[in-house]
Amino acid sequence: QVQLVESGGGLVQPGGSLRLSCAASGSIFSFDAMGWYRQAPGKQRELVAAITSGGILNYADSVKGRFTISRDNAKNTVYLEMNSLKPEDTAVYYCNRPTAQVGWGQGTQVTVSS
């Protein structure tokens, strides 16, 4: 059974940085695109960054230039480097496939506040 475990969230001041990690178990990782999603209170979950198995990147306009997604296939891990954080980035962050999602992990809370 595939499991996704997100970590690295926390409380950070506006303008700060965080690095999120997502460890994937099972057989999906090396052959699939992966993405980072976020869900803010009262809002729908949105895909903010994605990376294909070949390393092609896509970002939502709201995070372009500030967030960087990367993957380490040997470690079955995908990362999200977040810089110049804004209060509107506050959300629970999840990783999953961009399409045909598997079961969701618990997510990791990111709070941007002074």
Q: Please write the tens of the pLDDT for every residue from 2-57.
A: 899 999 999 999 999 999 999 998 767 777 899 999 999 999 999 999 999 889 99
3-state helix, strand, coil in the chain (%, to 5): 10, 45, 45
The tokens for 25 are 């178990």
The tokens for 8 are 């690295």
**What pLDDT does 25 receive?**
86
Q: What is the mean pLDDT of the chain?
A: 94
CA-CA distance, 102 to 112, in Å (whole number)? Answer: 28
